[in-house]
């Protein structure tokens, strides 16, 4: 099983690099994962990450892409500009969510 080491914590990842346990996520983990995605986090990134975390906390699943685009008031092109590997692979991974269903 793969893992990342953030500070003194060993955090297990699934085969696609997503956290095995979303409760192990914090901002330090997000910054580490962002580097693996070659993303420099800005306030705009954090706004989307916080939205994803809240949605996951409320519904125990990542939001559908169309829902996310509507709720964060950004178009899909903007989301891809912020998270080049996409809203599922990049944004959800950095937010510490499990790999979304249908994410390749």
Domain boundary assignment for the chain? 3-94
Question: Residue 58's pLDDT is what?
Answer: 97
How far apart are the C-alpha atoms of 92 and 7, rounded to whole Å?
Answer: 22
Eight-class DSSP state of 2 = -
Mean pLDDT throughout 72-99? 95
Question: Residue 99's pLDDT is what?
Answer: 87
Closest-CA residue to 47 (of 16, 78, 6, 4): 78
Mean pLDDT throughout 41-48? 98
In which band, very low, low, confident or very high, does the pLDDT at 1 lie, cut at 50, 70 and 90? low
Contact 6, 28 (CB under 8 A): yes
Mean pLDDT throughout 59-83? 95
Mean pLDDT throughout 27-40? 96
- If you average pLDDT over every residue of the chain, what do you get? 93
Q: What are the backbone angles phi and psi of residue 6, rounded to the nearest 5°?
A: -120, 110
Number of helices and strands (H, E) in the chain? 5, 2
Tens digit of pLDDT for each residue in 11-25?
A: 999 999 999 999 999
**Mind telling me the catalytic residues?**
103
- Whether the per-residue pLDDT at 103 is higher than 70: the answer is no
% the chain with pLDDT above 70: 96
Total residues found in the chain within this entry: 104
Tokens matching residue 58: 């409320």
Question: Residue 94's pLDDT is what?
Answer: 97
CATH 2.40.420.20 for the 3-94 domain, yes or no = no
């Amino acid at each position: 099983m793969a893992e990342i080491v953030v500070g003194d914590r060993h955090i297990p990842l699934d085969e696609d690099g997503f956290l095995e346990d979303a409760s192990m996520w914090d901002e330090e983990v997000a910054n580490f994962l962002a580097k693996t995605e070659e993303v420099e986090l800005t306030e705009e990134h954090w706004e989307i990450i916080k939205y994803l975390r809240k949605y996951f906390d409320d519904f125990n699943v990542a939001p559908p892409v169309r829902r996310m685009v509507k709720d964060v008031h950004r178009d899909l092109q903007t989301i891809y500009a912020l998270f080049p590997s996409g809203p599922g692979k990049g944004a959800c991974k950095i937010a510490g969510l499990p790999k979304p269903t249908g994410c390749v």
